[in-house]
Amino acid sequence: MTKTIENFLQYAVIDTQSDETSGQAPSTEGQHNLAKLLTEQLSQMGADEITYDKEHCYVYASVPASAGCENAPVLGFIAHMDTSPAVTGAGVKPRIVEQYDGEDILLNEDKNIVLRTADFPEIKRLKGQDLIVTDGTTLLGADDKAGVAEIMAMAEHLLTHPEVKHGKIRLGFTPDEEIGEGTDHFNVELFGADFAFTVDGGELGELEHETFNAAGARLIVHGRSVHPGSAKGKMINSILVAQEFQSLLPVFQNPMYTEGYEGFFHLDGISGNVEETTAEYIIRDHDRALFEEKKELFLKCVQFLNLKYGEGTLEAVITDSYYNMKEVLVPYGHLMENAAAALKELGAEPKVNPIRGGTDGARLSYMGLPCPNLCTGGANYHSRFEYACVQSMEKVTELLIKLAVRYGEISR
């Protein structure tokens, strides 16, 4: 078993699920367990400049430049330690399906949980390779512990193979990416890289330098509760008004119907009663102008229903989360070019696609650290049907090593 896979299987069983309701940083204490382990392993492998931010749960470290490569640009690699709140990350039981046969995978016989090719036909492309799956009761955590494992394996390889020449490499591991807070306390100055890659993508070959423009919106509907027997002309049922608001949004600008560069409004959660209902939305679009139009439409729907039911019936607060990192990555085209060239050397076809989501790299790019995104070899993220391909993960580790070598040959 390679170091990449050994790392991943060790990290996957640590519960690092983040929690968007906690109000803490990090949002869960479990993330410290992985941070502490990484800190220990970095020390054992001989990494330099190790910093463990015990308050906010960030880990930084360096692989020193090879002799003669001290003037190369400082290259960073970043991955996040937390897993999504969408599916539990407690009690993860990873197992390897060797030489996958291209058919359905029985994840859990007792619960009859099956990863069906009819639901996920793209998995058939991995026939003959080895897959890491769960028992179907949890997510796997390849998002982004696969990235963490690959970066750690790359670092150990460089530290134990001095014949591989490279410039200074900075490593960064962040908490709470899944709840949009992964860079809230990231110290760009301390990190000290000229540019970096997040290792947080999907299947082998994926390269990404475009994200959504993103906002979160909270809608609060104030109703009026009256006994239903005498409610005519008096009751305002906030639940029904919230439903009416949803009906005003474009039906097909919904995640269920969109792909590629198409944006959406996503109702992510709703709770309430007759008196008050709260609905949580996310608003996304790659195009900045269309993004602003979506936010404006959201507010116009609020205004329309306030005219109908009375001013103050609906309140909305929209908060921008991050912007499309492509806008600041244009001068750094060499990052994508070198990544694509390295993938081709590994026999993998580069697939440049827009991220239908965000990464730490989106905010980091606007914080002064240009940071496109690399693949990890995982798939079906945020799902109990998540899986990762062993051979793809191993190639991603090779990709990181090749990029370290490529940038070691450049003088600043």
pLDDT in tens, 35-60: 999 999 999 999 999 999 999 999 99
Residues 306 and 174 in one domain: no
- Which of 296, 322, 348 is the C-terminal boundary of a domain? 322
Known binding residue 80? Answer is yes
Determine the length of the chain. Answer: 412
**DSSP alpha helix (H) spans, 236-381:** 238-248, 288-309, 326-329, 333-345, 360-366
pLDDT of residue 356: 87
82, 156, 203, 394: the active-site residue: 82
Q: Is residue 412 scored above 70 in pLDDT?
A: no
Residues 273 and 309 in one domain: yes
Residue with tokens 């450049």: 410
Cα 152–chain centre separation:
18
pLDDT of residue 180: 87
Average pLDDT estimate for 67-87: 97
Residues 307 and 403 in one domain: no
Residues 250 and 200 in one domain: no
Q: Is residue 197 scored above 70 in pLDDT?
A: yes
Known binding residue 398? Answer is no
| Residue 59 parent element (H or E) | strand 58-63
Residues 185 and 250 in one domain: no
- Which of 303, 322, 341 is the C-terminal boundary of a domain? 322
CATH of the domain at 89: 3.40.630.10
Residues 219 and 299 in one domain: yes
177, 208, 285, 360: the active-site residue: 177
pLDDT in tens, 207-225: 999 999 999 999 999 999 9
Residue with tokens 């039911």: 309
Average pLDDT estimate for 313-322: 95
Average pLDDT estimate for 195-202: 96
Mean pLDDT of the chain: 96
| Residue 193 parent element (H or E) | none
Cα 271–chain centre separation:
26
pLDDT of residue 183: 94
Residues 192 and 339 in one domain: yes
Domain range for residue 58? 3-210+324-408
Residues 341 and 312 in one domain: no
Q: How far apart are CA 95 and CA 138, in angstroms?
A: 13
Average pLDDT estimate for 188-192: 98
pLDDT of residue 236: 96
Known binding residue 143? Answer is yes
Known binding residue 178? Answer is yes
82 counts as catalytic: yes
Average pLDDT estimate for 374-394: 97
Distances (CA, A) of 398 to 6, 33, 316, 336: 15, 27, 48, 16
Residues 171 and 221 in one domain: no
- Which of 265, 296, 322 is the C-terminal boundary of a domain? 322
CATH of the domain at 222: 3.30.70.360
pLDDT of residue 106: 97
**pLDDT over 70, % of the chain:** 100
Cα 110–chain centre separation:
31
Residues 198 and 220 in one domain: no
pLDDT of residue 224: 96
Q: Is residue 3 scored above 80 in pLDDT?
A: yes
287 counts as catalytic: no
Residues 316 and 349 in one domain: no
- Are the C-beta atoms of 399 and 393 separated by less than 8 Å? no
Known binding residue 32? Answer is no
Average pLDDT estimate for 379-391: 97
pLDDT of residue 411: 75
- Residues of 234-272 as b/e, b for ≥16 C-beta within 10 angstroms? ebbbbbebbebbbeebeeebebeebeeebbbbbbeebeb
Average pLDDT estimate for 84-90: 95
Give me 182's structure tokens: 């992964």
pLDDT of residue 358: 76
Q: How many domains does the chain have?
A: 2
Residues 87 and 171 in one domain: yes
